[in-house]
Amino acid sequence: MKKSFCTIFFFALFSFNILAQEDNFSSEIIENIIEQIAENREEEDTDFSLLEDLLLQFSENPINLNRTTREELEQLPFLSGNQVENLLYYLYRFAPMLSVYELQFIEGFDRKTIENLLPFITIKQESTQRKYTFPQLMKYGKHQIYTQTRYTLEEKRGYAENNYLGEPFYQSLRYNFQSRNKVFFGITAEKDEGEPFWTEKHKGFDFYSAHFQINDLWKFKKIVVGDFRASFGYGLALSNNFSMGKSSYVLNVLPAAKGLTKTSSTNEYNFFRGAGATAKFGKFEITSFYSYRKLDGTLSSSESFTALKTDGLHRTANDWDKRHNITQQVFGANLTFIHKDLRLGTTFVAAHFDRACQPTPAPYNLYYFRGKEQLAGSVDYRYTWRKIQVFGETAIDDTKSVATLNGLSFNPITRVSFLILQRAYSKSYQAIFANSFSENTNIGNEQGIYLGTEIHPAKYWKLSAYADVFRFPYLKYGVDTPSEGYDALVQADYAPKRNVNMYLRYRYKQKEKNFLLPNDVTNSVEEYDKATIKYVLKYSLNSVIQLQNTVEYNRTENYEQAANNGFLVAQDVSLTLKKPNLKLNFRYAFFDTESYDNRFYAYEKDVLYAFSIPMYYGTGSRFYTNLNYTFNKHFSLWFKFAYTRYHNRESISSGNETITGNHKTDLKLVLRCTL
């Protein structure tokens, strides 16, 4: 009774008015989360569809906080380890929760965190988990058919000179079935621009994928068949799922241990194809899987290859010569023990190729994987004691090379949280499926210390900061000697009202790379510095109009030349209409960069299951509009128009992608049917 009264009183006094949200609120939250994570990614091809698919799944099947687990909550990328622990402690003390307004009682949960969390949770007073029969699961299931088309209006050299074998459009088709977060089934088909769809060379889509997953069947926590991904521990031995990395979520940098998960992504490389299962016996979880699939690669002989081809593109005759000419088999297993605040796990993975990997000899790739087989194994741990959590993983491969990652997170007081992360990856550690926290693209040849902190100094304010110091004991691509560097970020967020929030971010990064100086015969390794400052203001004029102002400036310096500068100014306008059910996004951006090192990457809102982080380089402007129209509960449409004009060039891109002229126009169309 006392708890109910306090909850009602707190609701009346401090209500954020955040329960009465519509469907567009969930999509807006998902977009904002992905944008915050994507802003530090300096590449255009990161596969964020994995993250969006996860968030959409939780928004359609919200987590019941009264029955949740630590593993389930850790999959939400915006929750830190301390926040997860504080939420579980609150549930331990006061469960069952009666209302989402109780989230405001939990240490470390500010208004922004609660708003991010709301689309993905629910409060139900279920004493036991409801069981469904198979006919009921089929009855309550949801069918979704999705198709996407992309096209560039300007002709590229690959088509003009007949170097590309196929048509100049992108096409994908997906069918997904989902029922009560229990049963999943899907089929995906895709062709990229320039790949043949209906020619003498090939008929049909270039890539096909299918998956089936069922959860909580007898002793089996999960069974997957078809295409899937696997992630265990902290990714040092095995993880081909999405990894957070460095972003403004300074306390969330490690991949979540999701175990086996189905995939419907159009990424043609980063997945397994076969079957796997996770069974639960008391406090133990046992997982095993097997994968058999064809990969693309550059052959050096009938018995070996020099490198795998991972872009999934089959547009030219040379691409087709590399298509599906390598067979890969993978076996993996994991054993996890969970008891209260302790988790211990061990992972093993073995890979076999039908041809030997023999990279072209070069000093930087001396320790790269070679041969037909590789073994890797690891041990991971996590223990929570009050407000302190220690965790880590140590892995070893068949060359007896070791990689270890260990961390500690704690929040001494409610408004302050810290994360300390140490990593030491041997120069010869080259686990094929490793994907964890790293400055390098691969896990190996790296040592470093990462410090992150999040502070709430006053109402409406949040300060986030990290410092990462790293060292590469051996040379790497583009750096002909051992090297070192550091990366630091400070961000201040201020949200005085629900309809107004802003942040100011400063990032400084120093690394070393090769420079060929005048009159020199060999490269010289020197420092390269880049400082970036960014200010973003988001505000709503009313329930229909939302605005965003962005100003970003960077400055680079290196041994070879004087300092160069770059700046980007962008204005975003979003319109949300209830009648008709229409959402429009507009952006106009102007950019001016003095060198390639001053380039910008800016996240853009896009059509469903598509992501755009275009590079801004040179001098020019970019405009895009994104439209989402919902006809009814069954049919939705997305359309995007993007136009980029450069003021200092007569052609765009290079090779077969070259466009003659100074402008580029891209169109995207998506149709979705839900039954």
pLDDT at 127: 54
Cβ contacts of 497 within 8 Å, gap of 6 or more: none
Q: How do 304-309 and 342-357 pair as beta strands?
A: parallel
CA nearest to 416, candidates 378, 394, 387, 395:
387
User: What's the pLDDT score for residue 17?
Assistant: 39
Q: How many Å separate Cα 273 from the centre of its chain?
A: 21
Distance from first CA to last CA of the chain, Å, rounded?
Answer: 43
Mean local confidence (pLDDT), 611-622: 92
Among 90-99, 118-127, 476-485, the minimum mean pLDDT is found in 118-127
Q: What is d(CA 465, CA 453) in angstroms, rounded to the nearest whole number?
A: 5
Q: Checking DSSP bridges between strand 183-191 and strand 207-217, what pairing results, if any?
A: antiparallel
Backbone angles phi, psi at 461, to 5 degrees: -110, 145
The pLDDT value recorded for residue 323 is: 96
pLDDT bin (cut points 50, 70, 90) of residue 242 is confident
Question: How confident is the model over 258-287, as a mean pLDDT?
Answer: 95
Q: CA–CA separation, 228 vs 185, rounded Å?
A: 12
Q: Does residue 240 have a pLDDT over 70?
A: yes
Q: H/E/C letters for each residue in 235-246? A: CCCCECCCCCCC
Q: How confident is the model at residue 129 (pLDDT cuts 50, 70, 90)?
A: low
The whole-number average pLDDT for the span 576-602 is 93
Residue 126 has what pLDDT? Answer: 66
In this prediction, residue 128 has a pLDDT band, given cuts at 50, 70 and 90, of low
Q: Mean pLDDT across the stretch 578-593? A: 94
Q: What b-and-e string marks burial along 131-153, b requiring 16 or more CB atoms within 10 Å of the CB? A: ebeeeebeeebeeeebebebebe
Question: What's phi and psi for 316, nearest 5 deg?
Answer: -115, 170
The 10s digit of each residue's pLDDT in 497-519 is 889 999 999 999 999 998 887 77
pTM of full prediction above 0.85: yes
**Distance separating alpha carbons of residues 334 and 314, to the nearest angstrom:** 35
**pLDDT for position 3:** 46
Q: If pLDDT is split at 50, 70 and 90, which confidence band does 559 have?
A: confident
Phi-psi map region of 282: left, alpha, beta (phi>0 left; psi -120 to 50 alpha): left
Amino acid 312: pLDDT: 95
Predicted local confidence at residue 41, as pLDDT: 65
Amino acid (1-letter code) at residue 6: C
* Spatial distance between the Cα atoms of 9 and 609, rounded to a whole number of angstroms: 42
The stretch 262-267 carries a mean pLDDT of 92
Asked whether the predicted pLDDT for residue 441 surpasses 90, the reply is no
pLDDT band, very low/low/confident/very high, at 43 (cuts 50, 70, 90): low
Element at 585 (helix H, strand E): strand 582-593
pLDDT tens-digit map of 351-406: 999 999 999 999 999 999 999 999 999 999 999 988 899 999 999 999 999 999 99
**In sequence order, what are the residues at sequence separation of 6 or more whose Cβ sits closer than 8 angstroms to the Cβ of residue 327?**
292, 293, 294, 295, 353, 354, 355
Give the mean pLDDT of 535-560. 93
Q: Residue 128 contacts by C-beta under 8 Å, 6 or more apart in sequence?
A: none
